[in-house]
């Protein structure tokens, strides 16, 4: 699995850039800021 995910370029992706399955996986992950709004931490416990 290591060879398939991290070394072997995938034919469905950009062959000229030699993109692997792992590279595409991490590129498509949502940015951390998008996953959670930091203002939510201010309202923990229902106290404003």
* Structure-token match 């106290």, residue found: 47
Say if CB 6 and CB 22 are below 8 A apart.
yes
Stated pTM of the model: 0.51
| pLDDT tens figures, 1-48 | 787 777 788 777 777 878 888 888 888 887 766 666 667 667 666 555
Say if CB 8 and CB 24 are below 8 A apart.
no
Domain boundaries, the chain: 2-46
């Amino acid at each position: 699995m290591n060879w398939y995910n991290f070394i072997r370029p995938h034919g469905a992706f950009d062959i000229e850039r030699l993109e692997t399955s792992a590279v595409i996986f991490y590129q498509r992950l949502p940015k951390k800021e998008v996953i959670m709004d930091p203002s939510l931490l201010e309202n923990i416990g229902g106290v404003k």
